[in-house]
Chain A
Amino acid sequence: MDIKLKIWRQSNTASPGQFKDYQVTGITPDMSFLEMLDVLNEDLTARGEAPVAFEHDCREGICGSCGFLVNGLAHGGRHGTTVCQLSMRFFKDGDSLALEPWRAKAFPVLRDLIVDRSAFDRIIQAGGFISANTGSAPEANSILVPKASAETAFDAAACIGCGACVAACPNASAMLFTAAKLTHLNSLPQGQPQRDQRTLNMVAAMSRELFGSCTNHGECEAVCPKQIPIEFIGNMNRDLVRATFRRRREAIVVAGTQRA
């Protein structure tokens, strides 16, 4: 089948970009979406034009590298899949598809469909971990984790850090990403000692990275390839209240701020 493409082309962060039209022919339904782009790039290379840059790696929906909007929908909008898992079976001959990168101040475009998502790493650096220096761990079964807590933690930890939540959010908010990591670690007994500090620091980091504010549209949940529920955003908010108001003797220091 033949597909008409309209793709955002931008050679680097500093230069302006624009949409360009392309046509790919000879696409078969058993190809994946990214293989369709591979075909386009082969054509472009043969013509001496710069191939379309797009991020991808595992091509099975787990590494979180890939992601762009297809006709206005992050990852193509198919339930629970990344764009690399999208098959061309779901498209028809003659379809017109517009491909656009994630757009957010926190995610500057590096080239074409590739954006810089290092803001996510900095949110993790602020507290998205349990401090357990190598070698210091107690015997694994000395920590009992209720099955329900382990399940909740896993549901949240399934996040692949692709950024679709930010991309689909009308406010470019990173609440679902941050909430997923907080719910993962704050649900586990191992995560309790650092729970308040972690919550305060990660929320502060999220603000510093200039993401937007949540207005509970639920678009993030709808496009999340791992179907992380917005319920976790509520968990994060509660944890923040808890962290702020819980009685304690020592002042808490939020990374990058004074005491509170």
Chain B
Amino acid sequence: MLDARIPSGPIEQAWDKCKFEMKLVNPANRRKYTVIVVGSGLAGAAAAASLGQQGYRVECFSFHDTPRRAHSIAAQGGINAAKNYRNDGDSVMRLFYDTVKGGDFRSREANVYRLAQLSVNIIDQCVAQGVPFAREYGGLLDTRSFGGVQVSRTFYARGQTGQQLLLGAYQALEEQISAGTVRMHPRSEMLDLVLVDGKARGIVTRNLVTGAIDCHAGDVVVLATGGYSNVFYLSTNAKASNCTAIWRAHRRGALFANPCFTQIHPTCIPLTSEHQSKLTLMSESLRNDGRVWVPKQKGDKRQPNDIPEQERDYYLERRYPSFGNLVPRDVASRNAKEVCDEGRGVGPSGQGVYLDFRDAIQRLGIDQVREKYGNLFDMYEEITGENAYRVPMRIYPALHYTMGGLWVDYRLMSTIEGLFVGGEANFSDHGANRLGASALMQGLADGYFVLPYTVPDYLASSTPSKLDTSHPAFKQAREEIAGRITNLLTINGKRSAASFHRQLGRLLWDNCGMARSEASLNHALEEVRKLRWEFWQDLRVVGTGEELNQSLEVAGRVADFFELAELICIDALGRTESCGCHFRIESQTPDGEAKRDDEHFSYCAAWEWAGDGQPPILHKEPLAFEHVHLTQRSYK
């Protein structure tokens, strides 16, 4: 029943074939079509700008005050592309292979291959826009190796690659706004999707300044609203990142795929206070020279520099002699959790491990270490007040990215006709684990090079009927949203939405975080339901709906997080294998490594909303691996 519409024939020609088969819209007719783009991060801004350039009428929505605030901006490391500028054996095939393997064989081959192909065009496009990538002295583009791969294929702009790529897309978008092809609606949050005759035909938004509930009709809707890591409350995501847009679409019929595939990044600054509102990521590159350790003894409260060498446990080097401190993100994270669970964690909370540069400083000299990591050390000191040149850094894993998202076919269309999903909001390319420097690549591939082909094809082949917001479907959706806002405002309980959110996040982190078991997941499900009920009894939102009301915004998002949290647990419960970032303690090898079960779980789990209080319905998209040989990952 799930047709991914993957073109038949050799994978190398699939995208070309698909593009040739797609229908075109006559340039003179394009301005008659309205494309609604929700979200203006990498994927959204790129798609809106590109479709605007082609001549479509684009209405672009963002809850931020300007598209430049989107959380894509915070990505640090870089963006992969199979340019093979280093002559080191890279190729489209190798990037494709690395990505499928890195995703622990839970992604769709054809999509990943296309991603690897398009990676090359992305760099061209961004350079032409003026993205200031790092250069060599001869003026050519510089690259670095990133995330444990053996080729140097990561393009970067200091530690702020995401910022620079987003500004490139933002500037292209602003150009289209001034040209009149794109109309930007900042400070407008999508609260519902409107379907007419089973097709996505519009959205309902709330103006975050005036509180006005508005309806917008279009011929096609594109969601590029990012990931849902914030369901865990504490994550490296921006505070406002949320699942509302995709969740509302899910409730309207879009299947939600692999919700339990949530990535945990191993090098974040640990939690220091109970009031902490977010976690800060430190670049993974630190693991190139830092050594990870904890005391051998439980509850060792000595200062790190007072602990002698023989009483330190460099556990990653011990367990993974060949990869050492450079094991993939999921492995590094899980091991940190294990040693902390054993009571050997460090720092005031006991939730942290040391990342020590003492040996690197001895080997390279303090100046070279400062040159390589100076900005990260400064950032660490700014936050913690500790000087990492003298005492080891403390790090701990944190939620970082969600591979799951709305199910889409090869053309990025969801199970709702006319609803396309791009970037982190869809599930498509990363499988069960995302490799470093791949998120920017996927967001831009979707935005610049996939959606601008597939959206017009949909418009040309479906010829949407004339429609405006006077249609009863809009009126009904609008009333539902208004009613929901009134509900949130009139509970008049005692607790803020933020306090519920914090509690929900803790519950998920403890029971559905780095290690999951049947018992913990069942417990989480029960507790999430209880807490959700409490939320709807005891929530307090001060103020009205007809004004700028940040508490109301948060309340709406948290309400949706509760429903998503339940689905995440259900998905995790059903997948009794371990794969990538999803670690079921029931499924591990004798020496404690993740054990995949390809025979039973080589599929994408796409969940259908069955109504409030009803268990969701599972649909499976089987995954076939014809070009990549299935292997068990090993980093010993």
| B74 CB contact (under 8 Å) in A12, A58, A143 | A58
> In whole angstroms, what is the CA distance A190 to B448 when docked?
19
- The closest CB in chain A to the CB of B137 belongs to A147
Instruction: List 30 contacting pairs A-B, 8 Å CB cutoff, sorted by A.
Output: A12-B548, A29-B385, A31-B273, A31-B275, A35-B273, A38-B275, A41-B498, A44-B542, A49-B542, A63-B74, A63-B238, A64-B68, A85-B382, A124-B171, A125-B174, A125-B177, A129-B171, A129-B172, A130-B171, A132-B129, A135-B449, A136-B128, A137-B128, A140-B83, A143-B127, A154-B157, A161-B68, A190-B129, A190-B130, A255-B178
Q: Which listed segment binds A: B159-167, B244-252, B296-304, B404-412? A: B159-167
Q: Which listed segment binds B: A95-103, A109-117, A208-216? A: A109-117
In the complex, whether B133 has a CB less than 8 A from a CB of chain A is: yes
Contact with A along B131-170 (1 / 0, CB 8 A): 0111111111100000000000000011010011001001
Report whether A50 and B135 are in contact in the complex, using a CB–CB cutoff of 8 Å: no
- We find that the number of chain A residues with CB closer than 8 angstroms to chain B is 78
In the complex, whether B50 has a CB less than 8 A from a CB of chain A is: yes
In the complex, whether B276 has a CB less than 8 A from a CB of chain A is: yes
Report whether B239 and A56 are in contact in the complex, using a CB–CB cutoff of 8 Å: yes
In the complex, whether A139 has a CB less than 8 A from a CB of chain B is: yes
Which residues of A have CB within 8 Å of B50? 133-135
> In whole angstroms, what is the CA distance A87 to B568 when docked?
34
In the complex, whether A18 has a CB less than 8 A from a CB of chain B is: no
Q: How many whole Å from B285's CB to the nearest CB in chain A? A: 17
Which residues of A have CB within 8 Å of B547? 11-12, 111
Report whether A157 and B385 are in contact in the complex, using a CB–CB cutoff of 8 Å: no
In the complex, whether B272 has a CB less than 8 A from a CB of chain A is: yes
- The closest CB in chain B to the CB of A78 belongs to B382
- The closest CB in chain B to the CB of A117 belongs to B65
> In whole angstroms, what is the CA distance A85 to B178 when docked?
34
Which residues of B have CB within 8 Å of A188? 130, 132
Q: How many whole Å from B156's CB to the nearest CB in chain A? A: 11
Report whether B74 and A153 are in contact in the complex, using a CB–CB cutoff of 8 Å: no
Report whether B73 and A62 are in contact in the complex, using a CB–CB cutoff of 8 Å: yes
Report whether A30 and B71 are in contact in the complex, using a CB–CB cutoff of 8 Å: no
Which residues of A have CB within 8 Å of B64? 57, 65
Report whether A121 and B174 are in contact in the complex, using a CB–CB cutoff of 8 Å: yes
Report whether A191 and B130 are in contact in the complex, using a CB–CB cutoff of 8 Å: yes
Query: Chain A residues in contact with chain B, CB under 8 A?
Result: 11-12, 28-32, 34-35, 38-39, 41-42, 44-46, 48-51, 53, 55-60, 62-65, 81, 85, 87, 89, 110-111, 114, 116-118, 120-121, 124-126, 128-141, 143-147, 150, 153-154, 157-158, 160-161, 184-185, 188, 190-191, 255
Contact with A along B492-524 (1 / 0, CB 8 A): 001010110000000000000000000000000
Contact with A along B191-220 (1 / 0, CB 8 A): 000000000000000000100000000000
Which residues of B have CB within 8 Å of A117? 65-66
> In whole angstroms, what is the CA distance A39 to B276 when docked?
10
> Given A121-B66, A130-B128, A153-B130, are A146 and B71 neighbors across the interface (CB < 8 Å)?
no
> In whole angstroms, what is the CA distance A161 to B65 when docked?
11
Report whether A154 and B548 are in contact in the complex, using a CB–CB cutoff of 8 Å: no
- The closest CB in chain B to the CB of A60 belongs to B280
> In whole angstroms, what is the CA distance A51 to B543 when docked?
9
Which residues of A have CB within 8 Å of B163? 62, 158, 160
> In whole angstroms, what is the CA distance A56 to B134 when docked?
29
Which residues of B have CB within 8 Å of A132? 125, 128-129, 172
> In whole angstroms, what is the CA distance A118 to B129 when docked?
22
| B53 CB contact (under 8 Å) in A53, A133, A153 | A133
Q: How many whole Å from A88's CB to the nearest CB in chain B? A: 9
In the complex, whether B540 has a CB less than 8 A from a CB of chain A is: yes
Report whether B548 and A63 are in contact in the complex, using a CB–CB cutoff of 8 Å: no
> In whole angstroms, what is the CA distance A46 to B281 when docked?
32
In the complex, whether B277 has a CB less than 8 A from a CB of chain A is: yes
Which residues of A have CB within 8 Å of B137? 147
In the complex, whether B278 has a CB less than 8 A from a CB of chain A is: yes
> In whole angstroms, what is the CA distance A124 to B177 when docked?
10
Chain A binding surface SS class: loop
Candidate in A51, A111, A138, A190 with the most chain B CB atoms within 10 angstroms: A51
- The closest CB in chain B to the CB of A161 belongs to B68
> Given A57-B239, A58-B71, are A157 and B127 neighbors across the interface (CB < 8 Å)?
no
Q: How many whole Å from B540's CB to the nearest CB in chain A? A: 6
Report whether A57 and B128 are in contact in the complex, using a CB–CB cutoff of 8 Å: no
- The closest CB in chain A to the CB of B551 belongs to A51
Which residues of A have CB within 8 Å of B125? 132, 134-135, 137
In the complex, whether B3 has a CB less than 8 A from a CB of chain A is: no
Q: How many whole Å from B197's CB to the nearest CB in chain A? A: 31
In the complex, whether B36 has a CB less than 8 A from a CB of chain A is: no
Which residues of B have CB within 8 Å of A147? 135-137, 139
In the complex, whether B124 has a CB less than 8 A from a CB of chain A is: yes
Q: How many whole Å from A231's CB to the nearest CB in chain B? A: 17
- The closest CB in chain B to the CB of A39 belongs to B275
- The closest CB in chain A to the CB of B280 belongs to A60
> In whole angstroms, what is the CA distance A158 to B121 when docked?
24
In the complex, whether B49 has a CB less than 8 A from a CB of chain A is: yes
Chain B positions 59-92 with a Cβ under 8 Å from a chain A Cβ: 64-66, 68-71, 73-74, 83, 85
Closest 6 CB pairs of A and B: A144-B139, A137-B128, A129-B171, A132-B128, A125-B178, A153-B132
Which residues of A have CB within 8 Å of B423? none
Which residues of A have CB within 8 Å of B174? 121, 124-125, 128-129
Q: How many whole Å from A177's CB to the nearest CB in chain B? A: 12
| A45 CB contact (under 8 Å) in B171, B276, B540 | B540
Which residues of A have CB within 8 Å of B135? 145-147, 150
Report whether B171 and A161 are in contact in the complex, using a CB–CB cutoff of 8 Å: no
> In whole angstroms, what is the CA distance A28 to B273 when docked?
8
Which residues of A have CB within 8 Å of B496? 41-42, 45-46
Report whether B239 and A118 are in contact in the complex, using a CB–CB cutoff of 8 Å: no
> In whole angstroms, what is the CA distance A125 to B385 when docked?
41
> Given A65-B64, A129-B175, are A35 and B277 neighbors across the interface (CB < 8 Å)?
yes
Report whether B548 and A114 are in contact in the complex, using a CB–CB cutoff of 8 Å: yes
Report whether A89 and B129 are in contact in the complex, using a CB–CB cutoff of 8 Å: no
Which residues of A have CB within 8 Å of B28? none
Q: How many whole Å from B370's CB to the nearest CB in chain A? A: 16
In the complex, whether B366 has a CB less than 8 A from a CB of chain A is: no
